[in-house]
């Protein structure tokens, strides 16, 4: 099914354009990296705050409300640029296991970040909240997940496609 999809994608005007405009892919990749700065940076600053390592005078809810909105926008732009990068080389990313691992890690990282926000909201509402240790453990897990996303992303360029894939 993926073979059919990539064969179809190869012939679309979008892919033809991306493959022929020499500046397009580097530009899209640069935008992808700048958005990683917003997403990974935002997540890092939130988690460093939770771990008591950064901007500790700032109340935790403030840190979330400051960094989560740009992080969300960043994730959307990463998805769009990501789709364009796949379109530019239809036979590459989607045939590599590490790409799908990366997608799973992105979902896990977003769930962890969303979970952290819910804990803070619960704490604010006076509901029973997790222990300080639980907050910190989830912060470490969250950082680990986002770091893993970056490693998986880079590794797409270094592995081969699975048996039966076009390249």
One symbol per residue from 70 to 89: x for binding other proteins (CB under 8 A), - otherwise; what is it? Answer: --------------------
Q: Where are the alpha helices (DSSP H) in the chain?
A: 2-10, 13-20, 24-50, 60-88, 97-124, 132-155
In the complex, the smallest distance separating the C-beta of residue 51 from other proteins, rounded to whole angstroms, is 13
Using rule CB under 8 A, residue 30 touches other proteins = yes
C-beta of 7 vs 21, nearer to other proteins: 21
Using rule CB under 8 A, residue 97 touches other proteins = no
Q: For the chain, first and last CA: distance in Å?
A: 15
* Of 43, 113, 32, 34, the residue nearest 80 (C-alpha): 32
CA-CA distance, 23 to 8, in Å (whole number)?
Answer: 24
C-beta of 3 vs 30, nearer to other proteins: 30
Handedness of CA 49, 68, 147, 115 (dihedral sign): positive
Question: Which residues in this chain contact other proteins in the complex, by CB under 8 A?
Answer: 25-27, 29-30, 33-34, 36-38, 40-42, 44-45, 48, 54-55, 66, 147, 150-151, 153-155, 157-158
């Amino acid at each position: 099914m993926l073979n059919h999809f990539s064969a179809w994608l190869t012939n679309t005007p979008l892919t033809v354009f991306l493959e022929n405009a020499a500046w397009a892919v580097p530009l899209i990749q640069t935008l992808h990296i700048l958005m990683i700065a917003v997403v990974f940076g935002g997540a890092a600053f939130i988690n460093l705050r939770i771990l008591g390592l950064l901007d500790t005078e700032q109340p935790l809810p403030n840190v979330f409300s400051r960094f989560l909105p740009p992080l969300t926008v960043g994730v959307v732009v990463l998805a769009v640029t990501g789709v364009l990068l796949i379109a530019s080389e239809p036979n590459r990313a989607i045939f590599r296991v590490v790409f799908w691992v990366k997608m799973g890690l992105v979902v896990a990282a977003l769930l962890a970040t969303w979970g952290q926000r819910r804990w803070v909201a619960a704490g604010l509402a006076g509901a029973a909240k997790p222990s300080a240790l639980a907050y910190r453990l989830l912060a470490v897990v969250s950082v680990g997940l986002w770091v893993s996303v970056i490693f998986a992303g880079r590794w797409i360029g270094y592995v081969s496609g699975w048996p039966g894939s076009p390249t």
